[in-house]
């Protein structure tokens, strides 16, 4: 059974999660020959202060903030912390 673990910051609505579930399930069925009833998707919210990157404890971005507020709070390297990742699973949708 395909199992997908999604680690991300709190703040998504039930509707957002449902769209993610539908998209991932559809892709696994159509591209991975999975049975729709066998697809298991688990959401795990990472609470502020419970993750670190680059040796520093991170505070997850606020999804209530506007894009300009997030840009102002972004690291000096220009990466937006709301979208910076090499792991597809933890990018906001």
Nearest to 20 by CA among 43, 37, 45, 47: 43
Number of folded domains that form the chain: 1
State the chain's mean pLDDT as an integer. Answer: 79
Domain range holding 76?
3-90
Mean pLDDT, residues 5-31 taken together: 96
Instruction: Check pLDDT > 90 for residue 63.
Output: no
Tell me what pLDDT residue 20 has: 98
> Phi, psi (5° rounding) for residue 5?
-105, 125
Instruction: Check pLDDT > 60 for residue 74.
Output: no
Tell me what pLDDT residue 70 has: 54
CATH value at residue 55 = 3.30.429.10
Tell me what pLDDT residue 30 has: 98
Digit-coded pLDDT (tens) for 19-41: 999 999 999 999 999 999 999 99
């Amino acid at each position: 059974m395909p199992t997908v673990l999604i680690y991300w910051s709190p703040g998504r609505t039930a509707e957002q999660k449902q769209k993610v579930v539908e998209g991932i399930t559809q892709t696994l069925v159509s591209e991975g020959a999975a049975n729709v009833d066998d697809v298991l998707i688990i959401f795990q919210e990472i609470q502020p202060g419970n993750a670190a990157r680059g040796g520093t404890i991170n505070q997850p971005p606020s999804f209530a903030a506007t894009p300009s507020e997030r840009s102002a709070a972004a690291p000096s390297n220009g990466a937006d912390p709301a979208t910076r990742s090499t792991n597809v699973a933890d990018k906001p949708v």
